[in-house]
Structure 1
Amino acid sequence: MVSPDDVLADAVEHLPVGFFALDAAGIVLKWNAEAARITGWSHEEVLGRGGADLGAPIVDTSAAWQLIEQVLAGRTYAGRLPVVVPTGITLFVRAALAPLSPRGPIVVGVLQDVADSRAGDEAFALLDALWETAPVALAYFDTEMRYRRVNDALVDQAGGTREERLGRTLVEVHGPIGAVIEAGLREVLATGVVRRDVPLQGRLWHGRGPSQSWLLNQFPVRGADGEVIGVGLVVTDVTEAEKTRRELVEAAGQRERALNRYQSLVEATSAAVWIREPDGSAAQDSPSLRAITGQSFEEYRGWGFLDAIHPDERASKRAAWLDAVRTGSDFTHINRLRTAEGRYRWFRARAVPVRAEGRIVEWVGTETDIDDEARAQHRIAVLAGATFAVNAALDPETELIALADAVVPAFADLCRVYLVDPVTPGGRGVITGQRVVTRVAPGVVPAPPIDERFVFVADHPVTRSVRSGTPLLDRGPLSDRDDWMSTGEMWEWAKQVELNSTLVAPVLSEGRVVAALRLVACGDRPPYTEDDVALVSELAARASAAVEHGLRFQQTRRASLALQNSMLTEPPPSAEIGIGGLEVEARYLPATAELEVGGDWYDAFRLPGGDLALAVGDVAGHDLSAAATMGQLRSMLRALAFDSDGDPSFVLSRLDRVASRLAVTRFTTLLYGRVLWTGDRTLFRWSNAGHPAPILVDPDGTPRPVPGDVDVVLGVAPELPRGDQEIELAPGSTLLLYTDGLVERRSDPDDRSAAQLLDLVRRGARLPLAAFCDHLVRGTLADTGDDIVVLALRARERS
């Protein structure tokens, strides 16, 4: 982009008159082509030199010095210059003082041949053109402060027109802001002294114009006799620049206010303040932080401040800090600091970058003690985890084991669960028990084992807690051997791991203490406090409720299993079936501990006509009610089957109508069929009420699902018709009926469970029928924990 100065210099170079510029010492600063032609002296001979340096002088005659002195005094010079030049031309000179220059006073002028008056007129016409086209705003005022001349740049910059200005005063045109400008011009008029770079802000046209910012240069204009005849004005619009400057000033002010607020906030808290270098290291001291960690300045400086962080968090803190330094983002991190007392406490570190001219010059940060808050949140998390673990187990001992796993190492370095002989709180004497569950945190020396039958003396913390029925805190450190230490090995272990405190809480069931929890803190783990007593009390309360629930559940579960097993009779042996060559086996596996007993069932019995009835069903639900419903349906099915010689679909329809009217069930799947022998063929005819389809294993050991219609489940729409299907059981084949507990998966997006069941059947197809059923139950990939029923029938090879 071409600058305005370049344009002006190019215009001067091509003037048809000689143009020159001298400094106050007579050194030539500008010498255009026409000046070189008129005088015969080239640029190289003249530029940067004074007249005395030339073989023939140009500006060192007395007349020339008079010219310079007169111009420097503020008067315009016009006249012949008696000087000898190589061309022999007599020169006519017009010269004046340049109004603006960072280099000091400069004399500018034109040279012309005395004989060429027309060229002089043209030259001054060109100078007028330069006035009009100059890229800076120019104005000339007479001694009455009336506009006499303005150029286009001023009109474009300030608005309005020439006609609105010429002949009028600044006050008349611009109002109050014009009076301010006029005051400066009158000062120049009175003193003859140039006023440079005068800042001004306001609105022109009596306040109706836009808000603008200018720099004014005001200079006197003198006539031929040296008298000041007016004032010149050069105006530079700096509105955008001033706006930017103000924005920078405001931004700096906001930054300063933010830092002041930050400093005030820090001073209002107990946080330790520190300053770090742009690369994240510590060069400046932080007495407040060192007072917490107990480090010396030599230990703290550089990257030594990281040494006070707990070893488990040191690497993550360093990585997070270096990442913040690299990205220039705000920093927040929570970690434990080793205090001057040698213990660790939780602190939150926060830091912000301080920038200057777009770059980070330092980091300002704080370390705030949040140990109480962090430990409270940690207690809540431990309590939640332990509660979930305890509730997931359904027998008392498993619940207590889950509790120990949940608190180590999250809350304790050692947890022992003592299953004590039930004790009613109160009384005196020793505590006895059996079965101890121990969990030790990784890296901690294992505790000495406890005898299967244990005895705790009266002063032992477990005894005191069990006898009182309340939790207790036993603080370390250990001094002489405590009387309650059960063995010398336990005493030595406690010293080795630096045991610092112990919590004990009783676990009650129906008003009696059945167990005791003992939690131990070692080494640099913070000693337990009274707040931790409250936590272990909550843990014990949850364990107590879970134990009581578990005991009640086990009682219910035992009753349900007893009821269910009493109803699930063994299939008839081959000799009692009545159809030659048939063998039947059944397996029932109750639901796992997470679920209650369910309503899965099977039945196999001989019908009055000699056929063999087979049934596999699944009552919705997992509770004692489901087991009772299963028993009712099983009995009803037997009665209806014995009372009718109809097809399986007829029997199921009658069962559905009766069970629905009696409100025995609302949702039960059932596959019922009969095996019959016609001539030399063994057939299986069945009806399916929403149950998994049977699997037939061909004599060669290849399993395949048996296709057929599946009708609606029992208890939903008893009026709907039901159908039958029939297959032949070839000698050597095996028929498999089962409930969905054998195949059901929690997540099976690719429907792979059916294929996996067929593969399981294939791998056991050659086994004896009893071993085949065991193989299916043990090898199932189902993961829902549901009941499993398997009923298998094999047609033997005929001899």
Structure 2
Amino acid sequence: MDVVDRGNSGLSFEMLDPAPVGVAVTRGPGHRLIYSNVVYRSLVSDPGGGVSVEEAFSESVLPHYLPLFDQVHATGEPVISTAEPAVPIRGRRDLGERFFTFSLSRVVFGPGDHGVLVVVMDVTEQTTAARRMTANAEERHRILRRYESLMRVSADIFWVTSREGYVSEPSPSWERVTGQQWENYRGQGWLGAVHPEDRPATVESWSRAVAQATEMWEHVYRLRTVDGGYRHFQLRAVPICVDGQVVEWVGTSTDVEQQWQEQRRQRLLDRAAAVTTQLHSLEEMLGALADVIVPELGDGCGVYLVTDLTDERHGGAPFVIERLATAARPGLRRLPPYSEEQLPAGNAFVKAVRRRRPLLKRFPAGSPPPAIVPTGTLPWLTANDANSVLVLPVVVDGAVPAVVCVVTCGDRSPISQADISLLNRMFDHAHDALSRAIRFQRAQQIALALQYSLLAEPPRLPGLQIVARYRASPAAAEVGGDWYDSFVLPDGVPVLVIGDVAGHDLSAAVAMSQLRNMLRALAMDRCEPPGEILTRLNIAMESLSDDVTATCVYARVEASDGGYRLRYAAAGHPPPLLVTAEGRGRFLEGAVSPLLGLPHHGTRVSQVEPLPPGSTLLLYTDGLVERPGEHLDRGLERLRSLAESVADEPADRFCDTVVSGLPTSGLDDIAVIALRLPRP
């Protein structure tokens, strides 16, 4: 840079006075200050006049930067320094830490006469802000590194997502635990490793946390691990914010399977103890325990009462079981609570009871072995892709009064040894309550055995199917007066009978037995219309105690024009129900006469009704439809509606559903007998 000499007054630098930056000029190798503008003087000298610009320059600034001045003066190469800290100036009061950016360049006054042009800018504010941002970034990075190191010690998985909640960085720990690769779990791909049943709740919870920028998000889900099984993980995530805005999420996933199992174990034990303490009957207790087991330990559960009978009614079969309760997880059809089956001695179910040890079978989904469960349950296992079955005998006071059957289905892990141990502990905790209920139940079993001895097994007829069920009142330990009967007359016509002797004690059972035998004898003696048979039975009852009364329906199933018709009579009994194969039901309300045991003059009437192909005729006692304080018509309508809904079910399942699917008082016995006609 060349400058012009303007006489004795020196060089003309006034043109630099308005510059918004500090400007100074030196001359000669000694760097004598010959010019400074207002801005430069304000930056270097003391505004209060304590230190002049010449003094500050010669005593503080120049000595500090002398090598740079010499270099520029000698070579002519400019020097630029950015954000240089201010040089302390003697006598100047402390104005805090300041930073300057300056440049030094050579100026030419004449041949061999050189100087240095100094341009200075105060960048304290910009430098301080930049340093603050750098410090904040370094602090954040250090905190994140420290947090990540801590998480690697305390958590199994460490992960980072974008502000929108999508996985944005690879996680070696996630890959190690789940076996998923980065291209599979990035974004929302990680959901593929979450248990299908837990995905909806996880997505909903995480989406809500991201939308609301929750301070701390916590959630538990099941995660598929590298070995293919599922384990429970505790998720925690926090938002990382800059200037009040979320920029990303940092989270951990910690394996809490053992802790979760312990908590579940205690929760189930507490629930099992609570339900058995509050209930009294064995049926109620076992039903409540089934609801505790499902869905926590299985997808389905059946509870069976074991009756070891060898009487004539059961054809000498070594085992008769009655299903008392069922449970199924949401989405699976629940089997009727009540059913009755006979099991051969070689059945695995029977062997488990005999040995008093649990039996666990695992198998391909939907392919259960045929002898592991009662026959009526096998189609349910196949239809719902069952993959394991546990038959667990319930041992109480040295006996096996009941058996619990637990099933897992579909993708659910089969029942484990830990589950079996937990189930055993549940029933051990409930032992005292079950023992009290079983003492009452044993008295019922004795009464039930007596009752069964008075009832006949329905005959097996070509083309016709007859099924009967008897269910004792859970509230009484005595035999009752309900009965059913079915036999074939000398003329080849099948007969169905249902009746109910008033009372619920031993005398009622004795009267029932006498009445049943008398009716059989009268029917076999003469093949008369049903009304006339009931007329003669009413006369014969005079030989019994005066206070014996009973209701009865007597029905003949007669062949007619390639089909069948029903000829029947009813004495004070609820009307028979006829349900067509198409599911339309109606009550047969003709041929009605008063109770048996009351004076009645004249012959009781009979009625004839056609029986459509595939239809079902149901005879039943009043315990099925009567409830205290309710009109009988409501109970009858419930029965008709339920029977119509299961008209296409097999006859045995039809009866099981009818017996267990209606709200009853529980104060009376229930007897039913059903006739299923052949389809065309």
| TM-score (normalizing by structure 2) | 0.50
Flag the structure with more relative contact order, 1 or 2, with Cα contacts below 8 A and sequence separation at least 6: 2
Larger Rg: 1
| TM-score (normalizing by structure 1) | 0.43
